[in-house]
Amino acid sequence: MQDDSGLQKLLRVPLIYDLFQEIVGGNAARRVFIRDIVRAKPGDKLIDVGCGPAKMVEWLPSVRYVGIDASERYIESARIKYGDKGLFLVGDTRTLGNDERLGDADIVLCSALLHHLNDDEALDLMRFAHRALKPNGRLITGDPCWLPDQGFISRWVVSMDRGKNVRTEEGYRKLAELVFKNVKTIVLPNSLRIPTPGVAMECAK
Evaluate whether residue 1 is within a structural domain: no
Q: Which pTM was predicted?
A: 0.84
Domain that holds residue 175: 6-204
User: Total structural domains in the chain?
Assistant: 1
Q: Residue 157's domain is classified under what CATH number?
A: 3.40.50.150
Per-residue pLDDT, 2: 43
Per-residue pLDDT, 28: 73
Per-residue pLDDT, 31: 85
Residue 51: closest CA among 116, 98, 110, 99? 110
Residue 65: closest CA among 109, 113, 128? 109
**φ, ψ of residue 122 in degrees (nearest 5):** -65, -40
H or E segment to which residue 28 belongs = helix 26-33
Per-residue pLDDT, 5: 44
Cα 73–chain centre separation = 18
Evaluate whether residue 127 is within a structural domain: yes
Q: Which residues contact 77 (CB under 8 A, 6 or more apart)?
A: 14, 15, 53, 54
- The 10s digit of each residue's pLDDT in 118-152 is 999 999 999 999 999 999 999 999 999 988 887 77
Evaluate whether residue 177 is within a structural domain: yes
